[in-house]
Structure 1
Amino acid sequence: MATIAILHANHKHPAYTGASLRAGALGGTESSAIYLAEALARRGHRVFALNRLKTSSVESGVTWLPLDSRSDLPPVDVAIALNSDRLYWGFKARHKLTWLHTPPTLRKFLKRRNALALLWHRPMAVLLGGYHASTLDRRVPYRRRVEIAHGVAQIFFAPEPDATPRAAKAVFCSRPSRGLDFVARLWPGIRAAVPDAELHVFCPQSSLDEAAARIGGAGPGVQIRGGVARAELAAELRTARVMLIPGDLDETFCLAAAEATASGVPLVTCGIGALKERVRHGETGFLASSAETFTRHASEVLADDALWLRLNRACIAGSGLARWDDRAAEWERLFSALDACDAPALEPFLVAAR
């Protein structure tokens, strides 16, 4: 059993615990921190999770604490800091792993306090995939760079392919700035081809006005749903026919796309950022090279029942997605390799080895 601390400064975002995940909408970074913390706790580890909380609590085996109380932590075996190397100050950890979720720009690391923390603590960088790894400048002096993808929560996995086609319901599940205006611009053409189609937009509650502005004159069939709890989102995805998600250069994994695929929902995407890693073209969705092909693929998936049933089967049977318990086991293997200074055991994780 290891003692693990997961730390997140989450500036400009609300504090959260595991209860937040079940009660309302959360972003991918926050939900990933919760899922990993709880999965590690289920596997018998002692897990502390710290963010901008005001009070402490214990939920699902995880001890949730205010970030400012990290100096009160016992010595930990592994510290996992989200997106910031400055969170390691003030307590002792045998291994330090910076779990990056955003594209890490060189300019950010050159800031004086960031550079000092990185050079002093020399943590390992944990990246989410090939695209994400490509965004980290080789000059940034992390001790090592490894890849571990996100998991998907059990509630999103459909038990079997659908027996009959779903209704013509498209979904967009992301921040409005990540391509909603592109989808809205194409929606009239998609709906002209599939007159009964609907587009349901799920986004943070704080972004409702932005979503409405980006939707603009998209015409009928569009519903702005805002943010919903994970269980409700899982239920919505079980009735969705396609996810329309162009992608964004800031998208380093796109948990929403992975959750859709696990739910049997094919993707239509431009493959920008990590979205090219979330779909197998022609099997679990389509990579569109232009607005015209995006419109065509979206219309075909919404209208062609035989095509949709084939894509749905492939999403459920061969997506290659892992549950969070499986990802927690990967993290455990990484911890063990670090403890043993076992270079062969560490090699499969290394970015340079991929």
Structure 2
Amino acid sequence: MARIVMTDDGIVFDGASLEEKPLGGAETSFIEMANALAARGHEVIVCNKCPAERTHRGVHWRPLAQGVPDSADLYIANRGDRLIRLCPKAKRSIFWIHNPAGYLLKARYQWKLALRRPVIVFSGASHAGTYPGWAFAGGREIVPYGVTDLFRHATPREQVPPPRAIFTSNPLRSLDWLLELWAARIRPAVPGAELHIFAGAATYGAAGAAKADRMGLVLDRAAALADHGVVLRGPVPKTQLVGELGAARALLYRGDIGETFCSAVAEAQAMGLPVVLEDIACMSERVIPDETGYCVKGEADFATAAIQVLSDDTLWRRLHRGALAQQRGWGWDDAAASFEQIGGLR
């Protein structure tokens, strides 16, 4: 058993938050990794902005303000520059990032990365490509996010669902674009189709609160399209989201240049839900074209693909079965095993 210390200085959350409230992808991934490493027999200590010290699913959570242990077999700093040089006597260190890596080129990151030389972990090839070769690192590795186990046990659906599309990402990530395309092209071609929006500021904690006004404008537009089949549902915890994905027919998402993995799409695919995406950033890494969904260029092709998935039952069955067969094999235990290997624990 190894001693693993993990740190994060973003929003307030702890291990129970995953079951209790909606969370963003970075926070979800951090919790899932901690849980998976503990399940593999390691002592895992998390120091973050949790409200109080507690142990949850074998992981010891404690407020970052109480300090960070000086030593560990493996130290995992999560995204923040002030964390890079903590736990100075750790045998190995990883710097795990979740956003496009351009921000690491700031001086306050580069000098710390130059001194510590942690292995930087990216979530995919597109993500790794955002960090130039000349920038400091003690190594570069790609470890895709696992799919939360809750989404990995769907069975093939006997009945083709009604034309209900779903959006489960950040409303500032092109939801306005999707709403316009839905009202102008998709809904008129599929009468009775619905677009359910599971999105809102609550998912992102303090960061979401700072953008609440901007999100509100987009969500107000969604609410105004009720006559076009748009249903504003708000964010929900994953325990509820699994049922919503299981009732939907497709996930529609344009993508965003800020995406580096997109757990929303990965979760939908693992549930056997066909997706229609635009070829932006990492989106092409989340779908197997014409087997589990579509990744297209431009709004015309996006609308055409969405209309087909929402209206062609034979096509839907093929994409549904393809996603179930091919898109749920990699879980958090697999991702944790990769972190063990990077950290010299196996």
Normalised by the length of structure 2, the TM-score is 0.91
Matched, 1:211 2:218: yes
Aligned residue runs from structure 1 range 200-239, under 5 A: 200-206=196-202, 207=212, 209-215=216-222, 218=225, 219-239=227-247
Structure 2 match to 1:266: 274
Matched, 1:32 2:32: no
87 and 192 in structure 1: CA distance in 2 versus 1, 3 angstrom threshold? same
Distance apart, 1:330 and its partner CA:
2.0
Matched, 1:58 2:42: no
Give the distance between the partners of 1:25 and 1:83, measured in 2 at CA.
Answer: 20
Q: Which amino acid aligns with 2:177?
A: F
Q: Deviations over 1:192-218 (max 9, x none)?
A: 111111111111344561432453754
Structure 2 match to 1:193: 189
Contact 2:269 2:328 in 1 (8 A): no
For 2:196, what is the secondary structure of its paired residue? strand
Q: Which amino acid aligns with 2:216?
A: D
Unmatched 5+ residue regions in structure 1? 341-354
Q: 2:44 aligns with which of 44, 47, 54?
A: 47
Give the distance between the partners of 1:201 and 1:140, measured in 2 at CA.
Answer: 39
Q: Which amino acid aligns with 2:186?
A: I
Give the distance between the partners of 1:217 and 1:291, measured in 2 at CA.
Answer: 22
Distance apart, 1:39 and its partner CA:
0.8
Structure 2 match to 1:2: 2
Structure 1 match to 2:316: 308
Distance apart, 1:139 and its partner CA:
1.9
For 1:211, what is the secondary structure of its paired residue? helix
Q: Which amino acid aligns with 1:4?
A: I
Contact 1:180 1:214 in 2 (8 A): no
Structure 2 match to 1:147: 142
For 1:269, what is the secondary structure of its paired residue? strand
Distance apart, 1:48 and its partner CA:
1.0
Give the distance between the partners of 1:163 and 1:251, measured in 2 at CA.
Answer: 33
For 1:178, what is the secondary structure of its paired residue? coil
Aligned residue runs from structure 1 range 66-145, under 5 A: 66-71=63-68, 73=69, 75-91=71-87, 92-105=89-102, 108-111=104-107, 113-145=108-140
Contact 2:223 2:232 in 1 (8 A): no
Structure 2 match to 1:249: 257
Q: Which amino acid aligns with 2:300?
A: E
Contact 1:6 1:49 in 2 (8 A): yes
Give the distance between the partners of 1:50 and 1:211, measured in 2 at CA.
Answer: 35
90 and 159 in structure 1: CA distance in 2 versus 1, 3 angstrom threshold? closer
Q: Which amino acid aligns with 2:134?
A: R
Q: Which amino acid aligns with 1:245?
A: Y
Give the distance between the partners of 1:27 and 1:300, measured in 2 at CA.
Answer: 30
Q: Deviations over 1:236-260 (max 9, x none)?
A: 1011110101111110000110000
Distance apart, 1:163 and its partner CA:
1.5
Contact 2:70 2:86 in 1 (8 A): no
Structure 1 match to 2:332: 324
Give the distance between the partners of 1:90 and 1:98, measured in 2 at CA.
Answer: 11
143 and 90 in structure 1: CA distance in 2 versus 1, 3 angstrom threshold? closer
For 1:76, what is the secondary structure of its paired residue? coil
Structure 1 match to 2:205: none
Contact 2:78 2:95 in 1 (8 A): yes
For 1:175, what is the secondary structure of its paired residue? coil
Distance apart, 1:319 and its partner CA:
2.0
Contact 1:46 1:62 in 2 (8 A): yes
Matched, 1:183 2:178: yes
Structure 2 match to 1:350: none
Normalised by the length of structure 1, the TM-score is 0.89
Number of residue pairs matched by the alignment: 332
Give the distance between the partners of 1:262 and 1:245, measured in 2 at CA.
Answer: 16
Distance apart, 1:74 and its partner CA:
5.3
Contact 1:244 1:269 in 2 (8 A): yes
Distance apart, 1:122 and its partner CA:
1.1
Q: Which amino acid aligns with 2:241?
A: L
For 2:336, what is the secondary structure of its paired residue? helix
Bigger mean CA deviation after superposition, 85-94 or 59-68? 85-94
